[in-house]
Amino acid sequence: MLNNRYIRQMILPGFGQEAQEKLRAAKVLIVGMGGLGCPALPYLAGAGVGTIGIMDGDTVSLSNLHRQVLFTEEDIGSNKATVAAARLQLQDAEIKVAVYPYTLTNQNALDIIGQYDLVLDGTDNFAAKYLINDACVLLKKPFIYGAVSRFQGQLAVFNMPVAEGRPLNYRDLFPVSPRPGEIQSCEETGVIGVLPGIIGTMQAAEVVKLITGLGDLLYGRLLNYDVLQARSYEIRLSLQPEIPVIDKDSFLQMNYAFDCEEEEDVPEINVAEFNRLVQQPNIFVLDVRERHEYPAIDFSDAQIPMSELQSSLETLPEKEICVICHQGIRSVYAAQLIRARRNLPVYSLKGGLTAYFNQPGK
């Protein structure tokens, strides 16, 4: 059965029974069953990885389906990890599957990741990537990183064993997390559906290479891919001496969501409060979306994209300001800037225009 299923790769030069047995003995954890995890999972299963852990606390939504092709309309509302595990069992019932239908935290990461040989990153936010990285550093586990935004994606392999010193890790690429609003999420910027399929499959290829020892791993190199240009380029990575040493105590005490939260509380208002507030004459509605973003609206007093806001703060009127954006993320950061630099009363629309247009009657 083993030979028949995997015969097409076992006949490859340098592969054979030995490489296939390494795959069967391997244990891989996929954290995040989104656009990256969905394509990686079936290819890892198809390659013959013997034990696969699937972790995701999120549920399937309609907006996932254009890129998370493991799911169907019937899966909407169901936990992603649970659905993915069921698909995997249909593909190969002999694979050992562990399902973690919840979010990775610093309180469970060491116990869970410690059971696996390596981690494939299928997450879509900085906090999760730092969490995975730091746990892998402590446990000395390789970390296959991937990320996508708009029409571009990137991947790399981190934390491979080295003879001397310490291995490269994710903090050598991004030593500290960006401040809120500086880097937009996939929800804010969008992503072409085929791109995570490409990057996720390439991550799976790196996993297979790492396990079997075949080929040249993307360790010490960051691969960038532009789907519109059909071009890729690499950046050489080097150790950053100033990054902090990670120890277990600091890891367990660290708030990994902190870097993605507001530096200072900004009043967030819901849609009903926003509707009441904009009727007042002294309210100035500021749209901080980029000019190309859809949908167009006619109820803002000004549009100053987040990328231009710092240089335009002095143009804002001496009024109460309500900041809006697509998802209510950039608006929080914009409100912080306005309050810090202009000391004006300012609010952020929670959930952004997505929440506004989802209210009854819109």
Query: Residue 207 pLDDT more than 70?
Result: yes
**Residue 260: what pLDDT?**
42
- Strand 231-236 vs strand 268-269: parallel, antiparallel, or unpaired? unpaired
How many Cβ atoms from other residues are within 10 Å of residue 174's Cβ? Answer: 15
**Residue 29: what pLDDT?**
99
Of the chain, the percentage scoring pLDDT greater than 70 comes to 92
**Residue 183: what pLDDT?**
61
What's the pLDDT tens digit per position in 278-329? 899 899 999 998 888 888 888 889 999 887 887 888 899 999 999 999 888 8
Residue 57, helix vs strand vs coil: coil
DSSP 179: P
Select from 156, 129, 40, 34 the least CA-distant residue to 88.
40
Confidence label for 179 from pLDDT (cuts 50, 70 and 90)? low
**Residue 187: what pLDDT?**
63
Query: Residue 3 pLDDT more than 70?
Result: no
Confidence label for 259 from pLDDT (cuts 50, 70 and 90)? very low
What's the pLDDT tens digit per position in 71-96? 999 999 999 999 999 999 999 999 99
Confidence label for 181 from pLDDT (cuts 50, 70 and 90)? low
Average pLDDT over residues 334-340: 83
Higher pLDDT, 333 or 346: 346
Bridge partners, 30 (sequence order):
54, 120
Q: Domains, the chain, ranges and CATH?
A: 2-260 (3.40.50.720), 268-357 (3.40.250.10)
Confidence label for 241 from pLDDT (cuts 50, 70 and 90)? confident
Residue 260 CA to residue 184 CA, distance in Å, equals 11
The secondary structure element, H or E, covering residue 83 is helix 80-91
Average pLDDT over residues 201-224: 97
Residue 285 CA to residue 264 CA, distance in Å, equals 21
DSSP 73: G
Query: Residue 236 pLDDT more than 70?
Result: yes
Q: What is the CA angle 275-276-280, rounded to 5?
A: 115
The secondary structure element, H or E, covering residue 155 is strand 152-158
Residue 92 CA to residue 95 CA, distance in Å, equals 6
Select from 180, 184, 171 the least CA-distant residue to 138.
171
* Measured CA distances, 177 to 172, 238, 241, 309 (Å): 12, 18, 17, 21
**Residue 2: what pLDDT?**
56
Confidence label for 265 from pLDDT (cuts 50, 70 and 90)? low
What phi and psi, each to the nearest 5 degrees, are found at residue 121? Answer: -85, 110
| Backbone Cα Rg of the chain | 23
- Strand 221-226 vs strand 152-158: parallel, antiparallel, or unpaired? antiparallel
Select from 195, 227, 152 the least CA-distant residue to 66.
195
CB 71 within 8 A of CB 83: yes
Query: Residue 112 pLDDT more than 70?
Result: yes
CA atoms within 13 A on the CB side of 41: 38
Residue 287 CA to residue 303 CA, distance in Å, equals 5
Average pLDDT over residues 253-262: 60
* Measured CA distances, 254 to 57, 168, 190, 351 (Å): 21, 21, 30, 27
**Residue 350: what pLDDT?**
92
What's the pLDDT tens digit per position in 184-199? 665 667 889 999 999 9
**Residue 89: what pLDDT?**
93
Query: Residue 349 pLDDT more than 90?
Result: yes
**Residue 201: what pLDDT?**
98
Mean pLDDT of the chain: 90
Query: Residue 210 pLDDT more than 70?
Result: yes
Query: Residue 258 pLDDT more than 50?
Result: no
Select from 104, 198, 199 the least CA-distant residue to 147.
199
Bridge partners, 156 (sequence order):
145
**Residue 332: what pLDDT?**
84
Query: Residue 171 pLDDT more than 60?
Result: yes
Higher pLDDT, 329 or 220: 220
